[in-house]
């Protein structure tokens, strides 16, 4: 039980990578990339959890109350922004690829090779 969240994070990462390697659609690939990244959120947040700790908001609560780690939450926020932005770029690229090549199958847009 005490390692379950970490195992979940590892599983999500592995599944995402599998999706990327076997993908036949650039949009699906972008989403798989997001899935891989969400494994980092799960891991970060799981690492910062404190048993019986409340949220790190101290409004009306005496300081020194047990609270979870706020730093990993800030890191996860940054991580989410990174994920959103990379996904936006990949989607824009997918749109452009479709406009020029008529397909968004990554196996078929390999014009540069060798």
Partner 1 sequence: MSWLLPLLVAVPLLGAALTAATDHVLPRHVKDLIGIAAAGTTCAFGILVMLRSEQGDVVHWFGGWHPHGGVALGIDFVADPLSAALAALVGGIVLVALVFSWAYLEEAALLFDTLMLVCCAAMCGFALSGDLFNMFVWLELMGVAAYALTGFEVKEIGPLQGAVNFAIVNGIGGYLIVIGIALAYARTGALNLAQIGVTLTTGGGRGLVVVAMTLVVCGFLCKAAVVPFHLWLADAYAVAPAPVCAVFAAVMTDIGLLGVARVYWTVFSHPFAAHAPAVGDVLLALGIATALLGGVMAFLQRHLKRMLAYSVTCHIGIMLAGIGLLVPAGLAGTADLLLAHALLVAGLFLATGVLLALLRSVDELQLYGKGRRVRWLAALWFGAALGLAGPPYVGVWAGHALIDEAASGRPWIPPLLWIAGALASASLLRAGVRVFLGRGAERDPLLSPEMREQPPGRGTRLAILAPATAVTVVLGLLVSVVPGLTQRTEEAAARFSDRAAYASLVLRGAAAPHTAPLPFALEPTSLESVLYGIGAVLLAAALAAFGLRRPQLGGIPLLVAPARAVKAVHSGVIGDYVMWLTVGTAVIGGIWAVALR
Partner 2 sequence: MSRRARLAIFAPALVGFAALLVWGVAGLPHFGHYRGPYGHVVNRIVIPERHVSNAVNATTYDIRGFDTMGEEFILFAAVTGVVLLLRGSGRTRAEKDDVVRSDVVRAAGAVAPAVVVLVGLWVAAFGFVTPGGGFQGGVAVAGGAAVLFVTLGYRAWSRLGNESILDPLEGLGAGGYVVVGVAALASGLPFLTNIFGFGVAGTLRSGGSAELLNWAAAIEVAAANLILMTEFVEQYLVRGRS
User: Distance between CA atoms of 35 and 37, rounded to whole angstroms?
Assistant: 5
Answer for which of 22, 101, 105, 108 binds partner 2 (CB under 8 A) is 22
User: What are the φ/ψ torsions at residue 67 (nearest 5 degrees)?
Assistant: -140, 155
- Residues within window 21-80 making contact with partner 1, judged by CB under 8 A: 21-23, 26, 29, 33, 36-37, 39-40, 43-44, 47, 71-72, 75, 78-79
User: Distance between CA atoms of 55 and 75, rounded to whole angstroms?
Assistant: 16
Cβ within 8 Å of residue 28, ≥6 positions away: 19
Beta bridge partners of 54: 67
User: Distance between CA atoms of 34 and 89, rounded to whole angstroms?
Assistant: 12
User: Distance between CA atoms of 94 and 88, rounded to whole angstroms?
Assistant: 10
> Which CB atom, from 39 or from 52, has the smaller least distance to partner 1?
39
On whether the CB atoms of residues 53 and 67 are closer than 8 A, the answer is: yes
Under rule CB under 8 A, residue 109 binds partner 2: no
Binding site residues, partner 2, CB under 8 A: 1-7, 9-10, 13-14, 17-18, 21-22, 43, 46-51, 55-60, 63-64, 67-74, 77-78, 81-82, 84-86, 88-89, 91-93, 95-96, 98-99, 107
Binding site residues, partner 1, CB under 8 A: 9, 13, 17, 20-23, 26, 29, 33, 36-37, 39-40, 43-44, 47, 71-72, 75, 78-79, 82, 85-86, 89-90, 93-94, 96-97, 100-101, 106-107, 109-114
């Amino acid at each position: 039980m005490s390692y379950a969240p970490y195992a979940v994070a590892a599983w999500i990462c592995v599944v995402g990578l599998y999706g990327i390697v076997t993908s036949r659609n650039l949009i699906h690939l972008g989403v798989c990339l997001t899935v891989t990244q969400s494994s980092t959120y799960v891991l970060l947040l799981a690492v910062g959890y404190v048993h019986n700790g409340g949220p790190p908001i101290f409004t009306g609560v005496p300081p020194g109350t047990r609270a979870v780690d706020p730093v990993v939450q800030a890191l996860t926020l940054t991580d989410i922004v990174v994920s959103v932005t990379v996904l936006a770029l990949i989607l824009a690229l997918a749109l452009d690829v479709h406009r020029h090549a008529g397909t968004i199958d990554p196996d078929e847009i390999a014009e540069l090779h060798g």
